[in-house]
Chains A and B, each alone.
Chain A
Amino acid sequence: MSAQSAQLAENTLQGEDGTDQYLTFILDGEDYGVDILRVQEIKGWEGATPMPNMPEFILGIINLRGTVVPVIDLRKFFKMKSASFDQTTVVIVVKIQDEEHAERTMGMVVDAVSEVHNIDKSDLRAAPDFGGAIDMNAIEGLATINDQMIIMLDIDHLMNSGVLQMLDDSQPTT
């Protein structure tokens, strides 16, 4: 067995144990995580073309190798205080699916990515309703790693019921 396939087998085993890999990132000092299988790529912030009559959290659209991809400012979407963008500011490009299983590619700007963690789904705890700007359904659960709380996001819900739905409701904007 080659090293590669050994590793593959190990990964599969981990999967069976219910362990998933999450990419964690930082937003105003807090740790968030998304399922790494949904992450298409991570790229540096290079600006975006603004779109007319959009809420503030929609930064605009970027060119991702020929595809036009919308980018949202996650801080603004969560109504956190906004930060100026610098070299560590990154765009996490994710793939989301709507109810009809149509796939969309969208980007979200975060302060910085931290690392990849193996997290057992059964270890996730339900998040208490903290009455904040985040729709509770957009949170998959809370995990604890090295005494740090990580908020696991349900990316499909966040983008569909959150971002896109909110845009539909707010139309037409003037």
Chain B
Amino acid sequence: MAASILAVDDSPSMRKMVSFTLTSAGYDVVTANDGVEALEIAKTSPDLRLVLTDVNMPNMDGISLVKHLRELRDYKFKPILILTTESSREKKLQGKQAGATGWIVKPFDPEQLINTLRRVLD
């Protein structure tokens, strides 16, 4: 079975683009609009293999999402990548402290994103 990835972004076009990129690489993709929705999905689907999240989102931002995910038993050690236009050192450190595995700066190159995911997942 293909690995399932949870992609979180408040922008519909980004969500589409990311899920298109990932599905064309053979992954199953579940999407969420914001941290709150993502957390709900994560709680009910312990089988997801990886979370890919934006930072700036309404209701719950990506960094808080990472923190909350790390508190879930099933997500303690799963890879959580951040995909954002944000590139400040300050934010990255926040992300790292929250427990994110990696930080990818948008705009992303679809192929490179897939390579990264493969490396993290395999």
Direct contact of A and B (CB under 8 A): no
A binding-site residues for B, Cβ under 8 Å:
none
